[in-house]
Amino acid sequence: MEKYVSEVKLIDHNQQIIFEYLSNFENLSEYLNSGLIEKITKQVPQVKITDFESDRDSCKFNITGMGVARIRIVNREPFKTIKVESSGGLPLSFTFWIQLLPETPHQTKMRLTLHADMNMMIKMMAGNKLAEGINQLAETLSKLPYK
């Protein structure tokens, strides 16, 4: 099991607002379908995401060449932690945490942690990209239009 931890990001929003937004995949669906998927494809051309669908607790999407990915929120600790797990479809399994900590009443620190279980070949191909990707994801999440 490999562990990847993002840099800590400071977000100019209240911890509760960020938690409520990120703990509902329907909010992310709106953002992903409005252009984020295209940005990801431009940054990482070998990863093409299509057919994104979500409800409050889960989402699924196709990654060209890898298959259908399914992820599900398995635990919410109000305003502090969101735990997400993969549920098949990819050649790796993972658990992912979004951790939130108040800095001030209107600023929140966020850190992402990914535990990934993958075979040696995938680790050699994707290991460095996962380390970069966790920081890119943290940067992207820190800039979402929280409301």
Could you tell me if residue 126 is inside a domain? Answer: yes
Residue in 100, 97, 108, 101 with CA at minimum distance from that of residue 10: 108
SS3 percent helix, strand, coil of the chain, rounded to 5, is 35, 40, 25
Alpha carbons 16 and 13: distance in angstroms, whole number: 9
Q: Which residue has the higher pLDDT, 145 or 97?
A: 97
Could you tell me if residue 147 is inside a domain? Answer: no
Domain that holds residue 78: 2-142
- The CATH number for 107's domain is 3.30.530.20
Tokens found for residue 97: 């945490």
Tokens found for residue 145: 């239009």
Mean pLDDT is lowest, of 2-6, 119-123, 134-138, for 119-123
| pTM as predicted | 0.86
Report the run of H or E that residue 25 belongs to, with start and end.
helix 25-31
Could you tell me if residue 58 is inside a domain? Answer: yes
The model's pLDDT over 68-119, given as tens digits with 9 standing for 90+, comes to 889 999 999 999 999 999 987 677 789 999 999 999 999 999 999 999 888 7
Number of domains comprising the chain: 1
Could you tell me if residue 9 is inside a domain? Answer: yes
Could you tell me if residue 11 is inside a domain? Answer: yes
The model's pLDDT over 17-62, given as tens digits with 9 standing for 90+, comes to 999 999 999 988 776 665 666 666 666 555 677 788 899 999 998 8
Alpha carbons 67 and 60: distance in angstroms, whole number: 10
Q: What single letter denotes the amino acid at residue 109?
A: K
Could you tell me if residue 111 is inside a domain? Answer: yes
Place of tokens 């669908």: 53
Report the run of H or E that residue 65 belongs to, with start and end.
none
Tokens found for residue 96: 């992912």
